Amino acid sequence: MPQIPISAQPRGTGKLRKSQMNNLEKLKSQGLRSEDVLGTIGPFKIFLGSLEALLGPFELPDEVMDALFYIISRSQPGTEPINSQAMRLILEGSSRARSTYFFKKNLKGASAVFGPYLVGECHWTLFHCNLKEGTIMYIDSLGEQPQRCSQIIENWSLFAASRGCQGPWKLINRDHDLQKDSVSCGVFSIMTTSALRPETVDTLLSKRTEKYDFCPETRRFTCPQTTLWETMVSALGADKTK
């Protein structure tokens, strides 16, 4: 595996981004291409293109979303992450999701599940279910549509029942700002995990020098994707030592 350079002490968004761009160029100078694997975070392969996407502005690919939710879940004992592919099958009512060989994790042993849900081909949203309280939270950075929320509850109920969790399930609404651009839905979904537990984002971005609050004036997160880039690279390095 190639050595992944990690910025030492970022002092500002501009300098941090420039440093990361330089690090990407170093990796490319080693002959690496976007499709080459740099390592894994949990069960998810991370490619050079994954890091390129985090320096955007680009939509975040599946493996980036799955890896970041995996990182978050490690700070939440009892919370099981569901990867984006499985989540889509579950929330869209696929009969495959209810088969015995699909998603072998034991829901009864978890207190909650969560993960990214890709709507259409390019819009990330957030799904969270508190299994103990029977509550569902669904957050869409473009605004929640009642019809979609009803469908999500119905399809989740079918899946959960196939795993021995009967419900009933109640939708919990959360007030939140809306994204104003066309690419920040992935970052929005990741950052709004703070609505689940306030310490979540602090854990995800621990020891970072940049702010990561949502700015109501600009309706954008002041945490750039470059900060999540640092989180990914750090996790890659940690996994290699296991």
CB 59 within 8 A of CB 122: yes
Given pLDDT bands bounded at 50, 70 and 90, which one contains residue 61?
A: very high
List domains and CATH numbers for the chain.
13-240 (3.40.395.10)
What's the CA gap between 65 and 187, in Å, rounded? 9
CB neighbourhood size of 218 (10 A):
9
Q: Alpha-carbon dihedral of residues 52, 58, 59, 64, nearest 10 degrees?
A: 20
pLDDT of 56 strictly over 80: no
Name the range with the highest mean pLDDT among 14-18, 138-142, 204-208.
138-142
Given pLDDT bands bounded at 50, 70 and 90, which one contains residue 17?
A: low
Share of the chain above pLDDT 90, in %: 39
Segment 67-105, tens digit of pLDDT: 999 988 888 889 999 999 999 999 999 998 888 778 777
Backbone angles phi, psi at 199, to 5 degrees: -80, -5
List the alpha helices (DSSP H) in the chain.
13-29, 48-54, 62-73, 84-91, 146-162, 185-191, 199-204, 225-240
Segment 177-211, tens digit of pLDDT: 788 888 888 888 888 876 565 444 444 433 333 33
Bridge-partner residues for 221, per DSSP? 214
- Of 238, 232, 159, the residue nearest 190 (C-alpha): 232
- Mean of pLDDT values over 139-150: 94
Radius of gyration of the chain from its Cα atoms, rounded to whole angstroms: 18
Given pLDDT bands bounded at 50, 70 and 90, which one contains residue 11?
A: very low
Furthest-apart CA pair in the chain: how many Å? 55
Least confident range from 117-121, 133-137, 224-228: namely 224-228
pLDDT of 124 strictly over 60: yes
| Cα 29 from chain centre | 29
Residues near 24 by beta carbon (within 8 Å), at least 6 away in sequence: 48, 51, 52, 55
- Of 31, 145, 131, 16, the residue nearest 82 (C-alpha): 131
pLDDT at site 8: 27
What's the CA gap between 242 and 232, in Å, rounded? 16
CB 172 within 8 A of CB 135: yes
Given pLDDT bands bounded at 50, 70 and 90, which one contains residue 16?
A: low
CA angle 110, 115, 118 (to 5 degrees): 150
pLDDT at site 238: 57
- Mean of pLDDT values over 120-146: 93
| CA distances for 67 relative to 44, 86, 152, angstroms | 6, 14, 23
